[in-house]
């Protein structure tokens, strides 16, 4: 008999793809996932990514809320939904939702990258008092959870430090189904990046300065304006806007040098997508990227625009070096699959349920 999991997600960021992949791969392990969507409803195209039951809750996104009351109320509403669906376990992909809610079943909190860890990596001053409620709710929820998971060992250490936890979260690497590449193109001699370009953690400023120094054309996919109005205005990057999966597949099929100058990244699904396609990787030298891509990428000191430009030019100038670097990326990417992620998560769920049954 299958056990039932309530899995929170949103249709705005990368958690949607994570939730869909996880739900699909949990079925062979005896878990049936119901995806509870916060924020805007998923599009028809997004819904086609999953066969799992999807419940559009109409509840606000926790990370877009202006205060603690809205997040606490959303958590309470999810607890009601969990009882109505008769689930056996809840996985919160926004941990703060569990700060007060009484789910009546075990809770696994997955910290994909919260405000406190983001702030520590991107801002010099301490977290302002007016934002402390967010950190405090997340900390309370992480302490209450039956298990805490992070998508990398390095980020798990960041989570423990940022929230003052007594134990380090369990690291379970994310996975991603490879894109179906739209091939038939001549390999590109250019560079490419993708992601939330408005997010200062992505350090688009460094990429823009690198684009001015490199001989290769440097294309960038992703939104330049964030949900709170923060805007980037690159002068040298060739900005493509938010691309569909099909358009991204065209970009990756050309196997450009994929570049990330991120100063904060809990895992980095865009890097994984590029690696699966055979793109050589040039990455900022941060602990998460070292953990995942050591020996399969070129690393550059964060903020070093000249270093990024030089690394791009070296790879773009030599077809043999370019191909060899792309092959290393493909081989490493094979470690990070939805099946591997789901197997580890199912083991965690089963262990929690077995301990509860034995108590």
- pLDDT at 231 (0 to 100): 83
Instruction: For the chain, state the CA radius of gyration.
Output: 20
Q: How far is CA 293 from CA 40, 53, 117, 325, in A?
A: 34, 34, 21, 12
* pLDDT tens digits for range 59-87: 998 877 888 999 999 999 999 999 999 99
* pLDDT tens digits for range 117-142: 999 888 777 888 888 999 999 999 99
Report residue 130 as tokens.
């007016």
Q: Note whether 139 and 95 are same-domain residues.
A: yes
Mean pLDDT of 98-125: 91
- pLDDT at 185 (0 to 100): 61
* pLDDT tens digits for range 281-334: 999 999 999 999 999 999 999 999 999 999 999 999 999 999 999 999 999 999
Q: Note whether 124 and 272 are same-domain residues.
A: no
Q: Note whether 274 and 354 are same-domain residues.
A: no
In a domain, 184, yes or no: no
- pLDDT at 184 (0 to 100): 59
Expressed as residue numbers, the domain containing 89 is 3-176+337-358
Q: What CATH number has the domain bearing residue 319?
A: 3.40.50.2000
d(CA 97, CA 285): 32
* pLDDT tens digits for range 231-248: 889 999 999 998 988 899
d(CA 230, CA 198): 6
Q: Where are the alpha helices (DSSP H) in 107-240?
A: 115-122, 132-144, 153-163, 204-213
Q: Where are the alpha helices (DSSP H) in 164-244?
A: 204-213
Nearest to 110 by CA among 98, 93, 96: 93
Q: Note whether 171 and 54 are same-domain residues.
A: yes
Q: Note whether 253 and 294 are same-domain residues.
A: yes
d(CA 347, CA 359): 18
Report residue 260 as tokens.
């990330």
């Amino acid at each position: 008999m299958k056990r039932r999991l309530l899995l929170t997600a949103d249709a705005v960021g990368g958690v949607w793809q994570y939730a869909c992949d996880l739900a699909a791969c949990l079925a062979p392990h005896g878990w049936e996932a119901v995806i509870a969507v916060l924020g805007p409803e998923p599009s028809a195209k997004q819904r086609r990514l999953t066969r799992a039951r999807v419940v559009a809750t109409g509840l606000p996104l926790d990370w877009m809320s202006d205060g603690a009351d809205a997040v606490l109320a959303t958590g309470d509403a999810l607890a009601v939904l969990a009882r109505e669906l008769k689930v056996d376990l809840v996985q919160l992909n926004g941990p703060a939702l569990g700060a007060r809610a009484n789910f009546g079943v075990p809770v696994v909190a997955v910290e994909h990258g919260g405000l406190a860890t983001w702030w520590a990596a991107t801002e010099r001053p301490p977290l302002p008092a007016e934002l402390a409620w967010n950190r405090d709710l997340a900390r309370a929820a992480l302490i209450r959870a039956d298990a805490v998971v992070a998508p990398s060992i390095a980020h798990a250490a960041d989570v423990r430090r940022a929230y003052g936890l007594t134990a380090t979260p369990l690291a379970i690497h994310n996975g991603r189904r490879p894109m179906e590449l739209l091939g038939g193109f001549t390999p590109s001699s250019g560079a490419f990046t993708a992601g939330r370009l408005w997010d200062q953690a992505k350090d688009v400023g460094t990429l823009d300065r690198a684009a001015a120094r490199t001989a290769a054309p440097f294309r960038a996919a992703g939104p330049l304006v964030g949900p709170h109005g923060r805007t980037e205005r690159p002068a040298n990057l060739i900005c493509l806007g938010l691309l569909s999966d099909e358009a991204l597949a065209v970009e990756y099929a050309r196997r450009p040098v994929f570049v990330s100058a991120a100063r904060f990244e809990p895992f980095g699904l865009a890097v994984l997508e590029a690696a699966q396609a055979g793109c050589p990787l040039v990455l900022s030298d941060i602990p998460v990227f070292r953990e995942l891509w050591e020996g399969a990428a070129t690393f550059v000191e964060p903020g070093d625009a000249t270093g990024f430009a030089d690394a791009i030019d070296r790879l773009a100038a030599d077809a043999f070096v370019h191909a060899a670097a792309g092959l290393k990326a493909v081989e490493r990417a094979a470690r990070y699959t939805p099946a591997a992620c789901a197997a580890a998560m199912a083991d965690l769920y089963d262990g929690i349920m077995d301990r509860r049954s034995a108590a």
